[in-house]
């Protein structure tokens, strides 16, 4: 379905980003990966799906790095047809104890980077009258949890940015939607499982069940593969008129 198209997925060396990149590659899209840590493993996993793959190590907290990455993607593959704004970090602390540098980093990586990549991707999408911008927000773009002020503020911001991007392009073939996962067992959440296990003196298995039990009636983690399938749907012709939605995949978290 996506043969000949190029997808750039930020924060795709791990977790949800890698899951989405693999799902888009399985539909034939060439992929630009981004993120920290090992890039060779993810590159090989994408190449094995029979598409072209490139990697750019932009630090998504730096505007000049994002500009460089978008230029690299255009010069490597001609254009970015699908932009997935996924890179994100977390820090958990009450507001009065929240480190100022963590606030700034979360707003820059989880929110401002989506604005910068979007503003740089839009002109070439508008030129060919087709494009897909998918913002990986969170249930925390819809509801809040204590001790996650920066993350919740950034993710609510991402949902707002999604709606504005969708509206500004509503008469064109460029759509923008957000995905709002509940708990997904990636390194980002594993840290929270480990912290809970330590704080409560319980096993990792018990800590996982406690995390799920607090929020997710399904008692199941959402998987990167499920989120990848939703991203593929947003790229399909059936989603041509799906604009500005914040689609939760959260085991019932926000239905309560
Ligand atoms: P992860 O830690 O597995 O992956 C995060 C990715 O972002 C990695 O590739 C990492 O290298 C990259 N990254 C981090 N800082 C970066 C920076 N400054 N520049 C470039 N890349 C950077 O986490 P994940 O759980 O896969 O999270 C992906 C997205 O999904 C995030 O936006 C997160 O907020 C969101 N999300 C996660 C969950 C969850 O339960 N895991 C739930 C809802 C939303």
pLDDT in tens, 42-101: 999 999 999 999 999 999 999 999 999 999 999 999 999 999 999 999 999 999 999 999
- Cβ–Cβ under 8 Å, residues 129 and 174: yes
Q: Is any atom of ligand 1 closer than 6 Å to the C-beta of 144?
A: no
The residue whose CB lies within 8 Å of the most ligand 1 atoms, and thus the one to mutate among 8, 12, 17, is 17
81 CB-near residues (< 8 Å, 6+ apart): 2, 5, 6, 7, 29, 125, 128, 130, 131, 132
What is the predicted pLDDT for the residue at 134?
A: 99
Q: Is any atom of ligand 1 closer than 6 Å to the C-beta of 251?
A: no
Give the SS3 label for residue 21.
helix
| pTM for the structure as a whole | 0.98
- Cβ–Cβ under 8 Å, residues 131 and 79: no
CA distances from 198 to 116, 194, 203, 204, 215 (A): 38, 6, 8, 9, 20
What is the predicted pLDDT for the residue at 27?
A: 98
Token readout for 90 is: 């977390």
What is the predicted pLDDT for the residue at 126?
A: 98
Q: Which residues of the chain have pLDDT under 70?
A: none
Residue nearest to atom 34 of ligand 1 (CA): 88
Catalytic residue among 55, 151, 221, 253: 151
The HSE-up count of residue 128 (CA atoms within 13 Å, CB side) is 13
Q: Is any atom of ligand 1 closer than 6 Å to the C-beta of 60?
A: yes
Give the SS3 label for residue 176.
strand
- Is 55 designated active site? no
What is the predicted pLDDT for the residue at 20?
A: 98
CA distances from 111 to 3, 72, 153, 162, 201 (A): 30, 22, 9, 11, 35
């Amino acid at each position: 379905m996506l043969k000949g198209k190029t997808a750039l997925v930020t924060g795709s060396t791990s977790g949800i980003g890698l899951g989405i990149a693999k799902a888009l590659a399985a539909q034939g899209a060439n992929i630009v990966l981004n993120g920290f840590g090992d890039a060779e493993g993810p590159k090989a996993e994408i190449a094995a799906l029979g598409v072209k793959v490139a990697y750019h190590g932009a630090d998504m907290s730096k505007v000049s790095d994002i500009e460089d990455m978008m230029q690299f993607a255009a010069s490597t593959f001609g254009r970015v047809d699908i932009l997935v704004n996924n890179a994100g970090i977390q820090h958990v602390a009450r507001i009065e104890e929240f480190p100022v540098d963590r606030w700034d980093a979360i707003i820059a990586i989880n929110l401002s980077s989506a604005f910068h990549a979007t503003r740089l991707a839009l002109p070439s999408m508008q030129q060919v009258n087709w494009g897909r911008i998918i913002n990986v927000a969170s249930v925390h773009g819809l509801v809040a949890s204590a001790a996650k002020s920066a993350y919740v503020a950034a993710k609510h911001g991402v949902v707002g940015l999604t709606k504005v991007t969708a509206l500004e392009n509503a008469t064109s073939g460029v759509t923008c939607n957000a995905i709002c996962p509940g708990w997904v067992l990636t390194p980002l959440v594993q840290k929270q499982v480990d912290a809970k296990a330590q704080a409560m003196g319980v096993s990792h298995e018990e800590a996982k069940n406690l995390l799920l039990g607090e929020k997710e009636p399904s008692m199941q983690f959402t998987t990167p593969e499920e989120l990848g399938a939703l991203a593929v749907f947003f790229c399909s012709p059936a989603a041509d008129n799906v604009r500005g939605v914040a689609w939760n995949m959260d085991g019932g978290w926000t239905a309560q």
